Amino acid sequence: MTLRIEDYALVGDLQTAALVGRDGSVDWLCLPRFDSGACFAALLGDEDNGHWRIAPKDAGPAGKCTRRAYIPGTLVLESVWETRTGTVKVVDFMPQRDTAPDVVRIVEGVSGRVDMSAVLRLRCDYGSVVPWMRRSQGHRVAVAGPDSLWLRIEHAESVPVKTWGQEFSTRTSFTVGPGERVAFVLTWHPSHEPRPRLVDPFEALEQSLADWTDWSARCRYEGPYRDAVLRSLITLKALTYAPTGGIVAAPTTSLPEDPGGVRNWDYRYCWLRDSTLTLDALLKTGYTEEAAAWRDWLLRAVAGDPADLQIMYGPAGERRLTETELPWLRGYEGSAPVRIGNAAVDQLQLDVYGEVMDVLEAARESGLPDHPHAWNIALSLLGFLESKWREPDESLWEVRGPRRHFVYSKVMAWVAADRAVRALENDSSLRGDVRRWRAMRDEVHEEVCEKGFDSERNTFTQSYGSRELDAATLLIPRVGFLPPDDPRVIGTVDAVRAELSHDGLIHRYSARNAAAVDGLPGREGTFLACSFWMVDALRMTGRVKESTELFERLLALRSDLGLLAEEYDPAAGRQLGNFPQAFSHLGLVGSALALAAHETAG
């Protein structure tokens, strides 16, 4: 039985992450990085594509834990199973790594006596390669090409543990009583290197709890939604690639926007579109170091010829993200093809120039230490945009249909010029032609208001000459293109609410005509980030009560662990898309902070 997307928990070590199901199975894990090949890919196939389940023997193949929760302020997961013979707890986590990544799973008896079973089925290269298994120095060792994985089991002599091989898997059987513990440690390292350093699982647990608790204590937000905000911040931290400061959009690929359909994409990369929201969320909640690391990652990634600017990069700033399909994986709930890499990397999305200019100006205004080359990079990007902004593009939604003159892309071109003007007006040490960028700003503004606004319906449209709407236009007041009380802004908010809403939640664009807009068959769910944008738009246009009600409804859509995917299907009552999704959690944090600020000001 396929678990729902929200039935999974996230554990990670700030370089990669695993998804652990309610049934006790790790069904997704890429090693050693977020964008590496998966050694557990059952999430997108079946058990033969790799998984690691630990559960009571009488739980059955589809049995789920009784309850689960993160230890407060951490990414350490506790799953409790209540059986007819007793209660047992499984603790799952990944220690913030020294050199090699480890997955640690500790089984602890709580009451009675519980018979436990573990099945480890390793499959390298996204579930396609069965590794060679052998014993070495008390370990089970799996080797397949460049990958080597070592399984170690620690237990007291009073707890007999039986381990054997069966059907290309490693199986373990044991029984635990109150206070008895059996720990499993799975460690990856390059197959040509010696055995990695042994990790004491119990010491690693204490250190992981301390690491996460210390990090969470730095959160400055003390508003009414603190638990939700902190869980979202922990999730964003877990999606950070620590060596570089890059933040991936999600740790998964090909979880569908349309179950059974083809809208399946690889999100294990870093998108520039998230830049301003990320910086704002980190700075306002007290995570200055993380904000600076993200800004520095951004500058390294975009450095070079501005004509080569990409919309996304690998966790370390890699540019080549070639999209391919994996035909041996059937896809989540039959949603094929399964894709790795992302062809949208080659698209022209003019809004990203505005995102970069906006985040650099926000960093400067916040007092982050200046980067010596930031302004020169900014001017180079802006000079290129000056010659390109009149062209059609694929927009922030990465449509795979024809290019259009998307209104949001033009608005963000305005943002790019506006932030340059603001920087030059506020900082006399910067050099640049402020009149040139003022002229560009004014020209873009005039064109958008003339060609991107439907005066008959009193709303901005998705693209010039189109009658379609776009939820991205909800951001017009946030970026400062027009003030919130402008009748055109209010009209746009009302039109989006009327035409793109499904049971109060917001689609990116018309669900009826999605194929015509993005060139893909099928339909998608409501987009959670867009629904948070509606929260912000309602608040900014004076409808604070409605804004708060929508925000609290969105909070109720989170999983029992406080996690959000990319989309939500109100009809089916389930989450859709890659999971957990940074964009959704950034929207949650931003809306919570804005509502708290409004309440304080009021």
The topology under which CATH files domain 5-216 is Beta-galactosidase; Chain A, domain 5 (2.70.98)
What local confidence, expressed as pLDDT, does residue 506 receive? 97
What local confidence, expressed as pLDDT, does residue 513 receive? 64
At 304-318, the pLDDT tens digits run 899 899 999 999 999
CA-based radius of gyration for the chain: 25
What local confidence, expressed as pLDDT, does residue 597 receive? 85
What local confidence, expressed as pLDDT, does residue 512 receive? 67
**Is residue 398 very low, low, confident or very high in pLDDT (cuts 50, 70, 90)?**
confident
* Domain map (residue ranges) of the chain: 5-216, 226-317+336-601
Domain at 226-317+336-601, CATH class:
mainly alpha
Percentage, residues of the chain above pLDDT 90: 89
- For residues 488-497, average pLDDT: 98
- For residues 519-528, average pLDDT: 87
| pLDDT for residue 511 is more than 70 | no
What local confidence, expressed as pLDDT, does residue 99 receive? 86
| pLDDT for residue 591 is more than 70 | yes
What local confidence, expressed as pLDDT, does residue 252 receive? 98
At 548-585, the pLDDT tens digits run 999 999 999 999 999 999 999 999 999 999 999 999 99
| φ/ψ (deg, to 5) at 329 | -100, 130
Stretch among 165-169, 383-387, 442-446 having the lowest mean pLDDT: 165-169
For helices 582-601 and 528-540, angle between their N-to-C axes, nearest 10 degrees: 20
At 98-151, the pLDDT tens digits run 889 999 999 999 999 999 999 999 999 999 999 999 988 778 999 999 999 999
| pLDDT for residue 602 is more than 70 | no
Residues 6+ apart with CB under 8 A from 190: 146, 147, 148
Q: Which pTM value belongs to this model?
A: 0.97
| φ/ψ (deg, to 5) at 242 | -55, -40
Residue 158 one-letter amino acid: S
C-alpha–C-alpha distance, residues 569 and 383, integer Å: 42
What local confidence, expressed as pLDDT, does residue 271 receive? 95
C-alpha–C-alpha distance, residues 35 and 316, integer Å: 10
